[in-house]
A and B are shown apart, each in its own frame.
Chain A
């Protein structure tokens, strides 16, 4: 059983403007990147389940030079709104760490 935190040396999340959140998964090398970057476990359904995202508004960008996958989604609730718990979305990455890749 391999999880995101097993194959990434760093994972981070941050808002990208008030309406988008972006995740950067820094894989620990080209091998891990090649093996996992297109894994369906990191697909739109994951972000729907964890963050209530609209799957049609989830974007996935492999950055091979950096062994990074960037995934961005449109926020379901407004930044700073009534139910805001993480203004910069800087803690959202934690929910990805234990996602199983195989």
Chain B
């Protein structure tokens, strides 16, 4: 009979705010490991394309310091996946440097495993040519031009590289891009937990206390995995889990509520049952793992044009009463203006006007007669092949954007300028360009493990 394997998941994502007292409580409850992811694709492709983190460095350092200290005191491993938001090599190196800084400041000597999952273009092209890369809807087959258009490409790792690093004695693992679930399940898999409950527990805990009743009370949960199932409870005493809060988390950020495809298999929770153990804890049984041929998802990101923006505020009631007309007339006038002033040199450009307070989020046409707001903000977004051209387009439109009259021949109005200079270069538009899986025989084939053993370093 397997003794329950207890894992602290201290937050939804490293840098989001770990509570020291929650981690301490998890240790008192007998936790065997601490695991968290440190990013996702959620906030867009820029973080992978640029190799930068979305998070403030001090926030990540603060959270990681709490975890490294707790791990060292209790003698248990700290496992972090998708380092630096996107999990590319640069994102991982950024996180590594923070960890080394913490270790030096706190006098800690962890054995650190770095799991790099960035892929070089030449070998990826070779694997693609050999037929190992398959598209996922809605994209089609991968071509070399798409690979070349990416600034960085990562393989989304599964649990095996983490299991291998733990077996080799890692105190701290900083992973490249990895599924959230693989990061959280790896320790339990190493200890022989059944795969269904281990992966399901990991999915439930991926956002920390989001699977609890109150999403804002505390940040972490403890998962406890045994031979038959798993239990989950929040680390904050003010919070609680109930069967609804836990089962509903399977819906979150997941296109299919019953099946979750992972490297090497599919988690199937169709038959899972959720029961309250007491006022705070939920027990889950019936989770199944369906083994499949081993595949890793690929993520690639690169630039797709450059943007320059401008912003105004409008309170003029005449404009507000005719916003749809205003939008259409202004957009037509500005496109015309670019054609007549810059001409063909503008290349393949795009101007979009987003009326905040009206329909900026949806871009949908609101019905005639929709009551006007008291004021709106209008954002001008020019996209072009180069930053210089995007800015030239903005400058060509400047006078029209800031003074465009709703009634022709009226005195030219001045709308509410927010800034000067008015045009703001916002850099490249970054897009994800891959949605493919790569078939591999060996789960370790696309990962490079680098060790930094601070104990040895000191001895040397």
Contact = CB atoms under 8 A, between A and B. Distances in A.
A68 B251 contact: yes
A79 B432 contact: yes
Given A15-B253, A79-B45, A74 B247 contact: no
B177 interface: no
Contacts of A66: 244, 247-248, 251
B299 to A, nearest CB: 8
A44 B435 CA distance: 22
Contacts of B73: none
A43 interface: no
Given A57-B137, A68-B251, A74-B138, A80 B256 contact: no
B87 to A, nearest CB: 14
Given A18-B45, A22-B254, A66-B247, A85 B363 contact: yes
A18 B430 CA distance: 12
Contact of B139 (A19, A54, A61): A19
The CB with the most chain B CB atoms within 10 A, among A19, A72, A84, A87, is that of A19
Interface string B135-169: 01111000000000000000000000000000000
Contacts of A26: 248
B431 A81 contact: yes
B256 A19 contact: no
B447 to A, nearest CB: 21
B431 A80 contact: yes
Interface stretch (B123-131, B354-362, B396-404, B415-423): B354-362
A1 interface: no
A81 B354 CA distance: 15
A37 to B, nearest CB: 13
Nearest to A51: B362
A63 B44 CA distance: 29
B428 to A, nearest CB: 10
B267 to A, nearest CB: 15
A65 interface: yes
Interface in B204-254: 244, 247-248, 251-254
Interface size class of B (residues with CB under 8 A): 35 or more
Interface string A76-91: 0011111111111001
Given A19-B432, A80-B430, A68 B248 contact: yes
A65 B253 contact: no
B255 to A, nearest CB: 4
A35 interface: no
Contacts of A22: 251, 253-255
B41 A91 contact: no
Contacts of B248: 26, 66, 68
Nearest to A62: B257
B409 interface: no
A20 B429 CA distance: 19
Contacts of B256: 59, 61, 70, 72
A85 B254 contact: no
A88 B429 contact: no
Interface of A: 14-20, 22, 24, 26, 54, 57, 59, 61, 63, 65-66, 68, 70, 72, 74-75, 78-88, 91-92, 94-95
25 contacts: A15-B42, A18-B45, A19-B136, A57-B138, A59-B255, A61-B258, A65-B247, A66-B244, A68-B251, A74-B137, A79-B41, A80-B45, A82-B305, A82-B352, A82-B429, A84-B44, A85-B360, A85-B361, A86-B361, A87-B44, A88-B43, A91-B361, A94-B361, A94-B362, A95-B364
Query: Which 4 A-B residue pairs are closest in the complex by CB-CB distance?
Result: A80-B44, A72-B255, A74-B138, A18-B432
Interface of B: 41-46, 136-139, 244, 247-248, 251-258, 299, 304-305, 307, 350, 352, 354, 360-364, 383, 429-432, 435
